[in-house]
Chain A
């Protein structure tokens, strides 16, 4: 584990809040998009893109890069914001979201926008596609002894998958989980954005998934459970996952859907609703006040 300074944690927390502000502006401008799940995943994206991932925006195809598969594609406004500020494309382009001729499609398109590892939208694909990428990263290591070790260090880069808790209703997620454990993919790390809300209600009501940590553990994964808006906890968990070499890792991040705007939190109506002008102004004021706390 590494020491993470207070300054780093404040910087990443501010980044996350910026992703929320961008998300609000993009969805308001397009009058279309998904706010709640973008708000819940913001700190996770900040920690990965602005600290943990081995990536180079100037070389999005760098073979030895880490891969981040954003499986909950509907929450892509936060991803777009992270990629833009990280330098994959101009920040000015964010406001073209969901418009004609834009590279910022309603759901991420890997053939249009640099930095998108996999097109996403239909839920459930990330873990299984991530298994393929992690296997390829392992195959690309030339030393056979290192390959069989199944360790992150023995692979050319590591694969991260961010998925939502509603998403794990899909059976293919569990198929992918089994393959990851079978092949002892220590170079695969999933982060479950467990915000507890999906389109029509709470996950507990729609499709109960608890005890979620026990489920992943019983499928052969190393499990950590953290507070998903606490950047320090996220960074520590990512570091610890790097020390797990014989099995895939999952970080269960307990988050709040709609995090940061009082009238959006815990409310499934903000899964896919666009704000009107009054709501937009009220939400923006709350988010900017939140940003101020980190600056």
Chain B
């Protein structure tokens, strides 16, 4: 199957620009990386609604908070790891405790800034962000998902962490299928039916999970694929239904296996419907510099890892 690869960053730049045209209250801020994340498109069109605070992520978030408390809808742009670690106290205190309506546009997430290496990777951000009361965490899987979810982020009440890949990613849907793909924040999307195991996935791992499901089918295992683009608020009904229907689960995410989507699913089923669960993601370690797809493969997120996890989960069923 020929896979179309499309770049996430221009898609984001285009979607943010469209939001700027649609809503005059949308403003954008940057920690001087607008040519990295393509928010420069917004800056060029709306210079009076764009703020560059320099290389200062803590101030970036605080300035956005002031704008939000004055009725603006700020889209703050920075690298994911800097939001999740350097600016975390600002996010906790003002976006979450204060309920500031700031949208965090987290660029270069996961391992996607692979050549810059582990200092620029972000493998704990979902765990950190989803533990904060009032935070919403959204992880689009491709350019189609990004374009359909970003306008919802602008309308969503309260803070949002929007986690984006740096690179070209496989297009999950062709033009025809994309028309029927209607992601809604907080609702899982059933991408493929199956009866033996459900692979719950998001971001870059959606396309890899679909590939894994194809391979599993060839080995007689029927794997459902459930896209969980929203990690918080989590669609627990869809997870429990999947656990009950297939009796085994796999989570697949470009994130540490600690505390992210895998952790969220584990918490959900341990309360409601304990079934075997295998988590695919980065084991508890830092990665290294190298080509993106090779790094994903080496650090636990190859298609083969998903296939193996699915088989292991099925084998654990009684």
- Interface set of A (CB-CB < 8 Å, partner B): 63, 109-111, 117-119, 121-122, 125, 128-137, 139-140, 144, 147, 159, 171-172, 175-176, 178-179, 183
Contact flag A133-B70 (CB < 8 Å), given A118-B65, A128-B62, A175-B59: yes
Q: Let me know if B289 is at the binding interface, CB within 8 A.
A: no
Complex contacts, A117 vs chain B, CB 8 Å: 69
A147 to B47, CA, bound (A): 13
A130 to B93, CA, bound (A): 15
Q: Which of B56, B68, B74, B90 contacts A125 (CB 8 A)?
A: B90
A134 to B62, CA, bound (A): 12
> Contact: A147 with B63, CB < 8 Å?
no
Q: Which of B66, B90, B98 contacts A135 (CB 8 A)?
A: B66
Q: B interface, by DSSP: helix, strand, loop or mixed?
A: helix
Contact flag A176-B63 (CB < 8 Å), given A110-B98, A111-B98, A132-B70: yes
Complex contacts, B51 vs chain A, CB 8 Å: 135, 179, 183
Q: What are 7 inter-chain pairs, A to B, with CB distance below 8 A?
A: A111-B99, A119-B98, A121-B93, A129-B69, A176-B59, A178-B59, A179-B51
Q: Which of A117, A129, A171, A176 has the most CB of B within 10 A?
A: A129
Contact flag A132-B64 (CB < 8 Å), given A122-B89, A125-B90, A137-B70: yes
> Contact: B63 with A179, CB < 8 Å?
yes
**B43-71 residues at the A interface, CB under 8 angstroms:** 48-49, 51, 53-54, 56, 58-59, 62-71
Number of A-B contacts (CB under 8 A): 98
> Contact: B27 with A172, CB < 8 Å?
no
Q: Which of A63, A129, A175 contacts B65 (CB 8 A)?
A: A129
- Interface set of B (CB-CB < 8 Å, partner A): 27, 48-49, 51, 53-54, 56, 58-59, 62-72, 74, 89-90, 93-94, 97-99
Q: Which of A121, A128, A147 contacts B66 (CB 8 A)?
A: A128
> Contact: A139 with B66, CB < 8 Å?
no
> Contact: A132 with B69, CB < 8 Å?
yes
> Contact: A119 with B97, CB < 8 Å?
yes
> Contact: B98 with A118, CB < 8 Å?
yes
Known: A133-B67, A136-B70, A175-B54. 7 other contacts (CB 8 A): A118-B66, A133-B69, A136-B66, A159-B66, A172-B56, A172-B90, A179-B56
> Contact: A130 with B66, CB < 8 Å?
yes
> Contact: A128 with B72, CB < 8 Å?
no
Q: Which of B48, B53, B71 has the most CB of A within 10 A?
A: B53
> Contact: B66 with A179, CB < 8 Å?
no
CB distance from A123 to the nearest CB of B (A): 10
> Contact: A175 with B53, CB < 8 Å?
yes
Complex contacts, B58 vs chain A, CB 8 Å: 128, 171-172, 175
Top 7 nearest A-B pairs (CB, nearest first) are A132-B66, A136-B70, A128-B62, A175-B59, A133-B66, A175-B56, A132-B63
Q: Which of B49, B67, B99 contacts A132 (CB 8 A)?
A: B67
Complex contacts, B89 vs chain A, CB 8 Å: 122
Contact flag A179-B69 (CB < 8 Å), given A111-B98, A118-B94, A139-B27: no
- CB nearest neighbor in B for A126: B62
Q: Which of A63, A122, A147, A179 contacts B59 (CB 8 A)?
A: A179
> Contact: B72 with A139, CB < 8 Å?
yes
- CB nearest neighbor in A for B70: A136
- CB nearest neighbor in B for A63: B71
Q: Which of B59, B72, B98 contacts A172 (CB 8 A)?
A: B59
Contact flag A132-B62 (CB < 8 Å), given A118-B94, A139-B72: yes
A178 to B31, CA, bound (A): 13
CB distance from B71 to the nearest CB of A (A): 7
A111 to B93, CA, bound (A): 12
A132 to B94, CA, bound (A): 13
A241 to B68, CA, bound (A): 26
A119 to B94, CA, bound (A): 7
- CB nearest neighbor in B for A173: B59
Complex contacts, B67 vs chain A, CB 8 Å: 132-133, 135-136
A30 to B65, CA, bound (A): 31
Complex contacts, B69 vs chain A, CB 8 Å: 110, 117-118, 129, 132-133
A111 to B100, CA, bound (A): 10
Complex contacts, A132 vs chain B, CB 8 Å: 62-70, 74
> Contact: A131 with B63, CB < 8 Å?
yes
CB distance from B55 to the nearest CB of A (A): 9
A136 to B99, CA, bound (A): 18
- CB nearest neighbor in B for A129: B66
> Contact: B48 with A139, CB < 8 Å?
yes
A122 to B98, CA, bound (A): 12
> Contact: A140 with B59, CB < 8 Å?
no
A133 to B48, CA, bound (A): 15
- CB nearest neighbor in A for B67: A132
Q: Which of B66, B69, B98 has the most CB of A within 10 A?
A: B66
